[in-house]
Structure 1
Amino acid sequence: MCARTRNTILLFLLSISFTYAQNPNNNKTLSSILTALEKKYDIKFSFSDVDIENIFIAEPPKKITKEELLVLLNKKTQLQFTALGDRYVTISFLNKMVAICGTILDADLSQPLLLASIKVNGFQIGTTSDAMGTFYLKEVPIKSTVSISFVGYKTKQITAKELFSNTTCAPLFLIEKVEELSEITMPRLLTSGLQKKADGSIVLNTEKFGILPGLIAPDILKTIKILPGIESVNENISNINVRGGTSDQNLMLWDGIKMYHSGHFFGLISAYNPYLTKKVSVTKNGTSSAFSDGVSATVNMETNDKITNILSGGAGFNLLSSDAFVEVPIKKDLAIHVSARRSFTDLVNTPTYANYFSRSFQDNSISSNTVNNTESNFYFYDYSFKLLYDIGDNHKIRANFIHIKNSLEYVEQYNENALTIEENSTLKQENLGGKIGWNANWNSKFSTNFSAFFSNYKINSSDYNKDTDQFQTQFNNVLETAIRMHAKYELSEAFFFSNGFVFNEIGIKNTTTVNAPTFSKKIKNILLKSALYSEIEYNKKNTYIRFGIRANYFDKFKKLIIEPRIAFRQEINAALSLSLEGEFKNQTTAQKIDFEDNFLGIEKRRWILSDNKNTPIIKSKQASVGIEYNQNSFFIDLTGFYKKVSGITAANQGFYNNTQNLNSIGNYEVKGIEFLINKQTEKFSTWFTYTYSKNQYAFDVFNPRVFTNSLDLSHSLSTAFNYDLHKNLKISFGGILRSGKPYTKPIVGNETIQNGNRTIVNYDSPNKERLANFIRLDLSASYHLPFFKNLEATLRIGFTNITNQKNILDSYYIVDTTNENNVSRINNFSLPFTPDLSFRVQF
């Protein structure tokens, strides 16, 4: 028997039971019984017809006094019978207390909703529903109104009189919330599964994800790149630049675990399986004070947190990997969720893999030499595990684990000065994370969350040159642990008050070794920090405001940093609204790009820790103001923003100029405007986004002091068109056009200079030049295959860069004595025309 059938039968039985309880065969209407009692006892009942309608009771015993009759009627009904003298009896509700109950169900699936909130309006009375969706309240004023709410559903108002029952609980259906100002300002943004919330964040629901140009899956990080203000200068999703910031300035959270690694295939695809990650929130500004780090943006990924009585899952493959996930209910209060993905790139060489591989290794350590032969063994995998356990109705335990890994073994043979040279290289990159949390609802207004997590990131590489017998290794390790306590109290239906405490320890180790000549470098740093935060949220009708403050204390530096945060939105009328966001943030980790320790031109970034001196704490200040128009499925969003980030170092900016080896501290300042226009109908959605920004560095020891940021993309626009050709067939076509990245040329006529015993490139003033504009067109299609009632499949095909445009992503120079000017220019190119295909089944 399928789950939907079981739910239908359950609903039918509930309805029959409720109907029987209200009108069993031996009961009669109260109005007919009162008429007979008036004649029998020579009395007159005074009542309102509305008060006694639909009330059924058994006939009172024949031998009973009038006083005993009134006691019996008071007991058997929700009414108050009061004698006025010997002849008259009034019937009213007054303040009579009655017992109520109900069974709360999803209106679409008829599934019970656990921990729905039930509150009696105007009274300090409330409870939550159990695993079957049922609730009970013993003493409720009969004239009161009850509010029933659940996250993501519309609140239901119902009178206590309707819920009164002596024997069973009526089914109560909650409708999923589609558009509610306090939660969502745009029910569907660009494509299905993308929504904008009142606090300015963008939410991606992977389960409801539609289709985007070139994508064959709801790749979490590729998807958010379509949003204005979010770019990837070098095309990698592991290098996402939000409002001009570097990728290491983004806080990545997976179910509350801070992640230090985000990309498979050296950043070309997301490392997070989207089919178990149900919800992703992207916040560019106005972040909740509960979050720290990430001075540019916060990407918060959440997996499914509900226990259901249905076994569900799915599996699929594309031209790089295959994956599967399953959600298994063990008992009504216990479940496990598991996902796994692995590439088959070490077994099968598909066209997609070939293009990705050449794209990743075009800038390797022997890019200027002639390669005779290469042999590689590359694979990646990720898996996650989640345990869900409900301790009663109001307490639940959640435990998570995730493991992400990339592994590469690479053998090269190339010619240099008529000699054949062989290099053997290995690279292993992984991130493990685990978390355990306890959520408690102490009453209908007060809840707490206690959690602890660890995150362990490692990148371990080696390079062996057989001809010189030189062996070198690099190792970078980040280990972070944290405990967190969060409490939330509902002051009223509109006001919410939150407080919390966080304590964490971060340790980072960097090691480099070389055997010939013998060299060893090892750096290890540890930092303890703690934070208190407080936040108040007002959310009613046309106004939303969240104001918070966070106090961060760094034990090693004896330093306190106070950070205010604000998010505000006001609806002016049904179509127009204004928004304001602002925040102060800090982070103590950054990625250093070490040119001397290059490894195959990839993954040159190493995590380092602030020492409050040579590597200071990075701080940011942000402000943004926006205006939105939303009417008749026509949406316009215009936002102006300002951001200043201080405490950056030259070492983590990836300079290719004369400053690249200098240790200097500076800042960058970016100003810009983001524009989005989106029109939707039942069958199509089309949009256009544009971002203008001006991004500049300031380093006191450089000459010039102020110059263009390496991530400055003055103009960036994208457009797309989604169309539903059929209820099962969808297509998406779109393109990107943006300014080229700034770069630096050598001084003409004096391209190289001596630096001790070394000859180096003599660069001109930094970032004076700009690459050609970047342009790319993408196409994708999706076909839904409904096999059976509870089994469906989806076939998707995507084409990236359909015009095979040869975009230059970056450009720099190396010393080359065979060249007339003693230098050669190295260009990094974008992904060429690349097809991909995926097939998925889900049950």
Structure 2
Amino acid sequence: MVHKTHLFIIIFLLMVSVAFTQNSSDKVTLSSLIPTLEKTYDIKFSYSDTDIKNIFIEQPKKKLLIEELLTFLNEKTFLQFKTLDNRYVTVSFLNKSISICGTILESESLIPFVLASVKVNGYNLGTTTNNEGIFYLKNVPVNAMLSISFISFKTKVIAAKELFSNSSCKQLFLEEETEQLSEITMPRFLTSGLQKSADGSVVLNTEKFGILPGLIEPDILQTIKILPGIESVNESISTINIRGGTNDQNLILWDGIKMYHAGHFFGLISAYNPYLTKKVAVTKNGTSSAFSDGVSSTINMETSNRITNTFSGGGGFNLLSADAFLQVPIKDNLEVHVSARRSFTDLINTPTYTNYFSRSFQDNSISSNSINNAESNFYFYDYSFKVLYDLNYKHAIRTNFIYIKNSLDYKEKYAFNNTIIEEDSDLKQENLGANITWNANWNAKFSTNLSAFFSDYKINSSDYNRDTDQFQTQLNNVLETEVKLNSTYEFTDDLHFKNGLVFNEIGITNTTTVNAPTFSKIVKNVLLKSAFYSEIEYQKKNTFARFGVRSNYFHKFQKLLIEPRINIRQKLNSEFSLKLEGEFKNQTTAQKIDFEDNFLGIEKRRWILSDDEKTPIIKSKQASFGLEYSKNKFYIDITGFYKKVNGITAANQGFYNNTQTFNSIGNYDVKGIEFLVNKQTEIMSTWVSYTYSKNNYTFDVFNPQTFSNSLDISHSLSAAFNYNVTENLKVSFGGVLRSGKPYSKPIEGNETIQNGNRTIVNYNNPNQERLANFFRIDLSGSYDFNFSEAVKSTIRIGFTNLTDKKNTIDSYYVVDNSNTNNVRRVDNFSLPFTPNLSFRVNF
């Protein structure tokens, strides 16, 4: 009985398939049908190729009389078929106007557009789409062209007669218009959700994120660390080093807001919720002239900019925090997106939290003492919301808000010189940002974007010693505002011309106060900048080229900087491509690292502002040249690069040596090669990445003047293997092996010296030693299942440092009179074996 049922189903499906094939084959282009009719009926049609172009018609099911054939053709088209005699048939327009319809969908998600604009070019005629994305128009001139547009999407131009139909409405697809991103050349790069753009940037699409070794969610900044040339010498995403640059040389943007805070848990996880962040683009070189700052890279995060008119959302948790997000339609043209995340580390101690806490606080002022009693209260949270309002199909307003916070309260008792000391410590780190944007499509070729943002970063700490009744506070505050006007003119679909004006003001305050003895220090600087930029972008078939220039004027210094930018990618054939990138950039902010005066020994970095004297404007010059090979999902990328950055100071490099507090201005230059090979199949993706680089400082105050950069990772090798066990079950396994970072040792036999009333470590020449190689293996797994057709779930598990290798990531020395040489080496170690788990539900 079972076999008969299966046989019946198969026969039924075959019949349906045959019927469908026959029905679909009945409809052909009129231009291909006419020659057949001429032979069958021995007649000759007289027509214009333009008139019958893109007209589809059903084939007559049987041979008809000539009069019946002409009646059939007249009914099925908007043309007039008329015989001059028994042999010749003229074809002309029966009506000067036709009725048309269409369905407008987003190209990726296939979500219908609501209130998309449909305009008949050259006529006072148009409409908008309904809730299903469908539009209808009557009395449209048959030779007219239509422009279909929606804010933030590319305008589509189509002939009206292509939309003439006696049955269903033709589907039309709009592609998202993203100014900073060029055409995607690799839709799947390493893993699903990673894409490669024609301009060389790598795009993370969090909605389509696959799986990576050790990760249990699309952590934005953790993910980009798998890319060649991107390292973190101490595992922290707060200190990402791109092509040898310091972390403060990365421009981080969230929906156009410049952010000064990158990580929760002092850098072990990203501070940005990935589930409302739709796209992240990482650009190492050849940056658009629309961007300034970030002499090493630009990390541009964008949330969804589209009103979906659909209530959706999701939520989940891992072993550190829980989060949720919602997209709530209010009206057809008004929608709100909300996300929130909070740790439960102040309530529950999980194995993940224990390892993260030990890793974060191993190098504070407490760790060197014998603790008798300690009580900590640490938590973090972030939330954001976005209001999307479409005034009409040409104008849209977007408003964004984000808030990030880390909070630590620490109470301790420890023994020092046989005395029990009680101390209360408090540390709060937060970044608030807001942005408003007005997008306007004035016509099919010209659009503008007017935006303004506000960013407020604070790190505030206090330390109270009960025994000495000494209370100390520290504050670092960055306040930045910016107004930006951008315009884009499309000469053709392939040639775009962009211009912009920027007005920016930034103020930075550093405050330190002590009550006993009374001491107060306040340093505040403000800088006003304005800029004009212009660039032209050409992209057609095998060529991508972008040329730009940015002029920056610093009002306080009365200084003008001109920065050219270039980005070219040329396909030589279907397999090989060449790419050339170059740029000049500048930035006026940097992070000073002060080991003597820090935030509880945890956060040593304070933002400072250029004064063009002791702290100059940092300037970079960078060039890179590469070759790409792609065939049958096998991809090879080899890129050589050179970068030189001037205007760095010894104070913001984190040196452990005798001259770390000297006011010395220097530079670093880094040159290297990045190599990546990636092979993909339907169920597997594997890759190997290798970077070789040589990174050197030059400072006049040091001896020798040129020496290894503290971020000099000469060799870095990583490999990974992703495998789809089933459609729903995926695993990812990978590891990294890289050189140890340079560090400095004291002079043997003369380890300490007197500096006034203080004894300090007498360091040898800087960065002459290297730590042992870093090695780590990670594993993760993912399983998808659905509670219903609308509710989808994912459970993921990740293991960091499977072998539990004790990697030394930093070393320095402190004075310790109990040792024979009066110094003691302090080592910082990477995360030990650490498990994590996440569960998510989306609807």
TM-score, normalization by structure 1: 0.87
Distance 2:99 2:105 in 1: 20
Residue aligning to 1:700: 700
Mapping of residues 54-133 of structure 1, within 5 Å: 54=57, 78-79=78-79, 90-93=90-93, 100-106=100-106, 111-113=111-113, 130=129, 132=131, 133=133
SS in structure 2 at match of 1:595: coil
Amino acid at match of 2:272: Y
Distance change (3 Å), C-alpha of 1:126 and 1:615: farther
C-alpha contact (below 8 Å) 1:363/1:600 kept by paired residues: no
SS in structure 2 at match of 1:688: strand
Distance 1:297 1:745 in 2: 32
Residue aligning to 1:839: 839
Give the aligned length: 781
Residue aligning to 1:262: 262
How far apart are residue 596 of structure 1 and its match? 1.9
Residue aligning to 1:14: none
Residue aligning to 2:544: 544
2:279 paired with 1:279: yes
Residue aligning to 2:231: 231
Residue aligning to 2:756: 756
Residue aligning to 1:354: 354
Distance 2:597 2:235 in 1: 23
C-alpha contact (below 8 Å) 1:462/1:474 kept by paired residues: yes
SS in structure 2 at match of 1:596: coil
C-alpha contact (below 8 Å) 2:104/2:174 kept by paired residues: no
Residue aligning to 1:723: 723
SS in structure 1 at match of 2:360: helix
Decide which moves more: 411-420 or 746-755.
411-420
Q: Deviations over 1:295-350 (max 9, x none)?
A: 00000000011111211100100000000000011111110000000000000011
C-alpha contact (below 8 Å) 2:127/2:137 kept by paired residues: no
C-alpha contact (below 8 Å) 2:151/2:395 kept by paired residues: no
Distance 2:658 2:273 in 1: 41
How far apart are residue 786 of structure 1 and its match? 1.4
Residue aligning to 1:170: 169
Distance change (3 Å), C-alpha of 1:657 and 1:128: farther
Distance change (3 Å), C-alpha of 1:75 and 1:360: same
Distance change (3 Å), C-alpha of 1:255 and 1:130: farther
C-alpha contact (below 8 Å) 2:120/2:144 kept by paired residues: yes
SS in structure 1 at match of 2:725: strand
Mapping of residues 353-502 of structure 1, within 5 Å: 353-502=353-502
Amino acid at match of 1:199: D
SS in structure 2 at match of 1:788: coil
C-alpha contact (below 8 Å) 2:550/2:564 kept by paired residues: yes
Q: Deviations over 1:146-178 (max 9, x none)?
A: 68788999998865323247x99824143989x
Q: Structure 1: 5+ residue runs without aligned partners?
A: 1-18, 20-30, 32-43, 57-72
Q: Deviations over 1:764-803 (max 9, x none)?
A: 0000000000000101101111110000111100010011
Distance 1:649 1:115 in 2: 54
Residue aligning to 1:7: none
Mapping of residues 575-586 of structure 1, within 5 Å: 575-586=575-586
Amino acid at match of 2:290: A
Residue aligning to 1:818: 818
How far apart are residue 113 of structure 1 and its match? 2.9
Residue aligning to 1:66: none
SS in structure 2 at match of 1:357: helix
Distance 2:385 2:175 in 1: 28
In the TM superposition, structure 1's runs of 4+ consecutive aligned residues that sit over 4 Å from their partners are 44-56, 73-85, 87-90, 93-101, 106-110, 114-121, 123-132, 134-141, 143-159
Residue aligning to 1:16: none
Q: Deviations over 1:703-755 (max 9, x none)?
A: 21111000000000100111111111111110010000100000001111111
Q: Deviations over 1:336-376 (max 9, x none)?
A: 00000000000001111011001111111133221212110
Amino acid at match of 1:650: A
Distance 1:748 1:361 in 2: 30
Mapping of residues 312-323 of structure 1, within 5 Å: 312-323=312-323
Distance 2:447 2:828 in 1: 52
Distance change (3 Å), C-alpha of 1:427 and 1:786: same
How far apart are residue 140 of structure 1 and its match? 7.0
Amino acid at match of 2:523: I
Distance 2:633 2:353 in 1: 40
C-alpha contact (below 8 Å) 1:126/1:443 kept by paired residues: no
Residue aligning to 1:566: 566
Distance 1:139 1:527 in 2: 60
Distance 2:123 2:500 in 1: 25
Distance 2:697 2:123 in 1: 56
Residue aligning to 2:679: 679
Residue aligning to 1:662: 662
C-alpha contact (below 8 Å) 2:151/2:441 kept by paired residues: no
Distance change (3 Å), C-alpha of 1:309 and 1:150: closer
Distance change (3 Å), C-alpha of 1:234 and 1:534: same
How far apart are residue 661 of structure 1 and its match? 1.1
How far apart are residue 77 of structure 1 and its match? 7.8
Residue aligning to 1:13: none
SS in structure 1 at match of 2:162: helix
TM-score, normalization by structure 2: 0.87
How far apart are residue 805 of structure 1 and its match? 0.5
Amino acid at match of 1:595: F
C-alpha contact (below 8 Å) 1:743/1:766 kept by paired residues: yes
C-alpha contact (below 8 Å) 1:79/1:96 kept by paired residues: no
How far apart are residue 628 of structure 1 and its match? 0.5
Distance 1:102 1:341 in 2: 41
Distance 1:551 1:126 in 2: 43
Decide which moves more: 663-672 or 105-114.
105-114
Residue aligning to 1:300: 300
Mapping of residues 766-781 of structure 1, within 5 Å: 766-781=766-781
Distance 2:433 2:415 in 1: 43
C-alpha contact (below 8 Å) 2:431/2:457 kept by paired residues: yes
Distance change (3 Å), C-alpha of 1:157 and 1:529: closer
RMSD: 3.2
Amino acid at match of 1:618: I
2:839 paired with 1:800: no
2:621 paired with 1:639: no
SS in structure 2 at match of 1:726: coil
C-alpha contact (below 8 Å) 1:99/1:136 kept by paired residues: yes
SS in structure 2 at match of 1:221: helix
Identity %: 72
Residue aligning to 2:38: none
SS in structure 2 at match of 1:358: helix
SS in structure 2 at match of 1:430: strand
Residue aligning to 1:829: 829
Distance change (3 Å), C-alpha of 1:613 and 1:396: same
Amino acid at match of 1:451: S
SS in structure 1 at match of 2:357: helix
Decide which moves more: 315-324 or 441-450.
441-450
SS in structure 2 at match of 1:353: helix
Q: Deviations over 1:94-153 (max 9, x none)?
A: 9966665422124786532368787999x9999896565456788976457768788999
Q: Deviations over 1:191-240 (max 9, x none)?
A: 10001100000000001000000000000000000000000011100110
Distance 1:717 1:405 in 2: 34
Distance change (3 Å), C-alpha of 1:353 and 1:158: same
How far apart are residue 602 of structure 1 and its match? 1.1
Q: Deviations over 1:375-424 (max 9, x none)?
A: 10011000000000111111111000000000110012111111111211
SS in structure 1 at match of 2:266: helix
Amino acid at match of 1:735: G
Q: Deviations over 1:419-469 (max 9, x none)?
A: 111211000110000011111111111111111110000110001111122
SS in structure 2 at match of 1:352: helix
How far apart are residue 595 of structure 1 and its match? 1.7
Distance change (3 Å), C-alpha of 1:95 and 1:693: farther
Amino acid at match of 1:444: A
